[in-house]
Structure 1
């Protein structure tokens, strides 16, 4: 079986006439290897970008939960302050209504905070699939570059 270059294979596929048993020159093989390496690198880079966008979206949602928790805590402070004010100046009914609203906002804020923390705890921004395929590519290249037969 002879080594054929990419150009020779392309000529055969397009119907161009290929004479004899053309073996690829070392230059053609090196050029093909360089082109394939560039293509592989670009594809790995695109995969890494896609994974990073996906993880950033998940982290963004968890960040939104933290934002909601912050808003809920501000509302708790506002209604808590109103409750304290009413406790000093008004009747018991006004006081209890403000404290109940503040307590509800406190519960909402705590729930959103816990959801946001849970969402970020198990997230890794590392592109796991890209790392795995890079390891596989390196392993393949290591085995592929070892000579199994001496050059004749």
Structure 2
């Protein structure tokens, strides 16, 4: 069985540990702070590595899109050449090339006009926003100075 004097001695020893526990708590807080800082640094390093990997994949994807665009351009050029050769069956080659060139320039001009219209329609909302912000500023100033 347990000795009662030994139990009280143990209990007294537990009380002697209280200052040590306070020191241990302080040490634990210091350790936790250090570990949190280390964890944040590790998470930042992981995020940096993930962003680097993501940027590399995005760069590769952009390069592949560029390559696809270049190949598509060659495909369109081949179709243009086919159209010229086909028209050569009913007219001289130089005239066939001229007709296809004029058609392509007309399509390019049409696309430019539609694009210009879209750009000009996009500009007024920004002007309206600037006007609205100026009106808001005037309202606030008017509210502050009765």
TM norm structure 1: 0.42
Which has the higher Rg, Structure 1 or Structure 2? 2
The structure with more helix, counted as a fraction of residues:
2
